[in-house]
Structure 1
């Protein structure tokens, strides 16, 4: 298994915002716990002012966006290691699979594990698994993201 290249988690809002192309109010990650070339572990505590809430729960599209931004955060940190000063823009090209087993409430802490499956030019195939703070898997997905210069 590859070594985690982070010496301590990145939790500063300013640092996170500098690593992803998304801006408030559409930010769905707040921590980078671990980073290797092919994997990452991100976190997100659901704020009560989130734009994708329904009855104090993050809706399905919010979970999907969180998984996609987890990939974006991994990419942004990778770019910062190689000297990029601003993150590249990307978007979800294809969602191959998504399964949602539960919708988390405001204040819940999510942890998401991303794994890059393969990469061809600017298309990356990635799997993601999101757990709630009890370690229960609440969502999984496999998607292809496209990075634009």
Structure 2
């Protein structure tokens, strides 16, 4: 288990107001977890709910934080990641303002610059969303 640095937003290319993770709380060679508190001023909050797009972006940014953390520890150049595909997306509920989300990604397969992940977003013990993603990473 890695102990991540405190400045998690520095691990991802997204900047305010489009940051959808607060803390990288765990990362190893097979998985990573982040937390995120939904704030009222978040650009993906509408009528007090964090929307489906926000949940998907939260999963993607969890994958990005993992890649950023690995690059930081291996002193590699920054990389840019792109979502290539989203598969089997299921949304079971939408979080409300001030809900704390915990998101986990599991690496299903990695071939060259393509990583296949399974991600899920939880509020406490309740799964709010899950999907599989194909993420392309390009080293700069």
Runs (4+) of structure 1 exceeding 3 A deviation are none
Q: Distance in 1 between matches of 2:70 and 2:115?
A: 14
Does structure 1 residue 89 correspond to structure 2 residue 89? Answer: no
Q: Per-residue displacement from partner, 1:75-131 (whole Å, max 9, x unpaired)?
A: 11111110136x311111011121000000111000011101111111100001111
Q: Distance in 1 between matches of 2:26 and 2:135?
A: 20
Quote how far apart the aligned CAs of 1:48 are: 1.2
Give TM-score, length-normalised by structure 2: 0.94
Q: How many residues align?
A: 139
Aligned counterpart, 2:117: 126
Structure 1: gaps of 5 or more residues: none
Q: Per-residue displacement from partner, 1:18-74 (whole Å, max 9, x unpaired)?
A: 110111111000111111111111111011110011101001001000011011111
Aligned counterpart, 1:105: 96
Give TM-score, length-normalised by structure 1: 0.88
Quote how far apart the aligned CAs of 1:17 are: 2.1
Residue from 98, 109, 134 that aligns with 1:144: 134
Task: Tell me, yes or no, if the aligned pair for 1:98 and 1:140 is still in contact at 8 Å.
Answer: yes
Please identify which structure carries the higher strand content.
2
Structure 2: gaps of 5 or more residues: none
Aligned counterpart, 1:5: 2
**1:62-81 pair list within 5 angstroms:** 62-81=54-73
